[in-house]
Chain A
Amino acid sequence: MRCQPPSWFLACFPFLFAAHSGAAERPAVLPDTLAQRLLACTSCHARTDTAHGTEYFPRISGKPAGYLYNQLVNFRDGRRQYPVMTYMVTHLPDAYLLEIADYFAAQHPPAPPVAQVPASPALLARGRVLAMQGDPARKVPACIACHGQALTGVLPAVPGLIGLPRDYVNAQFGAWRNGTRQAAQPDCMGTIAARLSLDDINAVSTWLAHQPFAPEARPAAAMAQPVPLACGSVP
């Protein structure tokens, strides 16, 4: 006989077992929950079957709701290009997009494993310098100047950077550089991406992917100091 945890334990911590219990049979009554309504989101953004290999989809759980909402609207309005995302959100009303953003902002699932991407000590060192100090010679501010001292984001609309796959971050820099990712003007990240070399982009994305994700990580409540560049998305 297999050892089963008691049902009260399952009820308290369903997420611990969801990935292992296999798919359950359809419920008797339609569950009126966002978790059920948004299975189309979690199938990529909260994958439990990471055995598939290198990850691309960004973690959206726990990111500031203002940031998530801006991205949903940007996909819908063509300021970000990822066809499946645009297809998903095109006919969803603003109020629902706001609800979706609030929902994922409040989710704090277990930390993802630290990515195992190859990196030389020199590359990681350069990435750390860029993240913590920036590159004043090229007027590139440090990541921590806007994304929070712990790089866990700042409320209400600056995203955390820890826990993002390297390839995803690289792809975003590429999209800013060729103009296919835009934010509300002035688009500060577009400006920064244009000032960074490709080697530096790779250094910072690789260093970010190597940082452990603290389960208790939350976005900072407010900017510690005035932001170094004007950002249209930051009120």
Chain B
Amino acid sequence: MKWRILCIVVAIILAAVIVAWPRDQFVASTSAADWAPTSANIARGAYLARAGDCIGCHTVRGGAAFAGGRALTTPFGTLYGPNLTPDAATGLGRWSADDFWGALHNGRARDGRFLYPAFPFPHYTKTTRRDSDALFAYLRSLPPVRQQNAAHAMAFPYNTQLALAGWRLLFFRPGVYETAPARDASWNRGAYLVEGLGHCSACHSTRNAFGASAPGLQGGMIPVLNWYAPSLSSADEAGVASWRQDEIVQLLHTGASPRATVIGPMAEVVANSLQHLSGADVAAMATYLQALPPTAAEGDMKVKPSASTMTAGGTIYDQHCVECHGADGRGLAPAYPPLAGNRAVTLHESANVARIILQGGFAPGTNANPRPYGMPPFAHVLNDDEVAQVMTYVRASWGNRGNEVTAAQVNRYRGATLE
């Protein structure tokens, strides 16, 4: 009797697995002309590769474009972006347009192996077959580079196909983006780019214990890099519902705007990807982001910082910060971002402010802002206590209501990965 129940339970589980198994989805090309090496296809593919920031992971610093080799460190081990140039021995030279679709849409290699989801196929799966073919035409047009792919260094059991099969069962369903008929063309185009090639939620959401992104764009720490990608749906973080659309477009296109300036990993996204997109596409992304259902962020100041901390922080501010950001904290946007009312300053998660004070940085140099201003690093000037004091001061002055920061919190970022 016992055995019969066990058999039934196992059978039910097996049936559930088989039903839920993420099957490969094949969509045929409309015609071979879609991936023919025409200048129109290649140009469209190059544009889509920008939208997907493919070059970011598939090019090593100082190396040939798309020839792979960049290390991507994850909590599960290190992966190396493979060679996408059309070299027959080491790149995509032997791949067909259907093979490429299999990778982009189904997360499967040419030989059928499951790919690691660090390759954001859970997002890229939304890409249409026509766009996949244009990307393929573009990659085929690159000069072939003979560069052997570096072997991934993943820890057991993450390096097994069984683990990847389980991951796909839990977290992956292939499917091209489906147009929402209730929304206009601009919103749909924005959704297609943000959810698909843009893979925004790869950073702007939390990842669970298995490294899968939560749905939505509610913000999260970027593992290993240790920058906080703020929520794009919360008015207290980086939500843009109340912004003018041209301000959002300016920020995404140039990296600097009257409302905010990008730095850190987002500087890479603007430099490699967003600045190259058309005004219409960036505006579509803005439309989509503005319409995100609002979500709440973690609360602000519960306890007022002590007077002594504020005095100490104010003294440091007057010595090192006031020259650009001003005694009133209003700065001179976009070069000297305002600190008063700046959500990046008051974020519940204070990692980014600590990093910007410790390591400084430049806004990305873009076509529209080719000579950006830079924030000086202070890691060699201020100790952890002093950084915590000045952070607490800017987070709690001029009407800001950010929580107090401790030296221990600052110390976490003193040796943070710089990429």
Cβ of A2 < 8 Å from any Cβ of B?
A: no
Q: Are B365 and A96 in contact (CB under 8 A)?
A: yes
Q: Contacts A44-B380, A88-B361; is A26 near B374 (CB within 8 Å)? A: no
* In the complex, B6 has a CB within 8 A of chain A: no
B118 within 8 A of A: no
A76 on the B face (CB < 8 A): yes
- Give Cα A73 to B180, complex, Å: 46
B251 in the interface, Cβ–Cβ < 8 Å?
A: no
A-B interface contact total, Cβ < 8 Å: 104
**Given the complex of chains A and B, what is the CA–CA distance between A36 and B61 in angstroms?**
28
Q: Which B216-260 residues sit within 8 Å CB-CB of chain A?
A: none
Interface secondary structure of B, over-half rule: loop
Segment of A17-25, A135-143, A148-156, A197-205 engaged in the interface with chain B: A17-25
A1 within 8 A of B: no
Contact status B271-A37, CB under 8 Å: no
Q: Chain B interface: which size bin?
A: 35 or more
Interface residues of A in 63-121 (CB under 8 A from B): 76-79, 83-84, 86-93, 95-96, 99
* Contact between B381 and A37, CB atoms less than 8 A apart: no
| Cβ–Cβ < 8 Å partners of A30 in chain B | 332, 335-336
Chain A contributes a number of interface residues (CB within 8 A of B) equal to 36
Kindly report which residue of chain B lies nearest to residue A87, judged by CB atoms: B418
| CB contact between B371 and one of A22, A76, A79, A96 (< 8 Å): that residue | A96
Which of chain A's residues 37-77 have a Cβ closer than 8 Å to chain B?
A: 37-44, 49, 52, 76-77
Which residue of chain B has its CB nearest to the CB of A41?
B374
Q: Tell which of B293-301, B303-311, B323-331 binds the partner.
A: B323-331
Residues of A contacting B323 in the complex (Cβ-Cβ under 8 angstroms)? 23-26
Q: List 30 A-B contacts (CB under 8 A).
A: A22-B318, A23-B321, A23-B323, A25-B322, A25-B326, A26-B327, A26-B331, A30-B335, A37-B371, A37-B374, A38-B374, A39-B374, A40-B362, A43-B360, A43-B376, A43-B381, A44-B380, A52-B381, A76-B62, A78-B62, A84-B377, A84-B418, A86-B61, A88-B374, A91-B267, A91-B271, A93-B370, A96-B365, A96-B370, A99-B371
Q: Which residues of A contact B (CB under 8 A)?
A: 22-27, 29-30, 36-44, 49, 52, 76-79, 83-84, 86-93, 95-96, 99
Beyond A30-B335, A39-B324, 15 extra complex contacts between A and B, CB < 8 Å: A22-B318, A37-B373, A39-B374, A40-B377, A43-B381, A44-B377, A44-B380, A52-B381, A77-B62, A79-B62, A87-B418, A87-B419, A88-B374, A90-B419, A91-B362
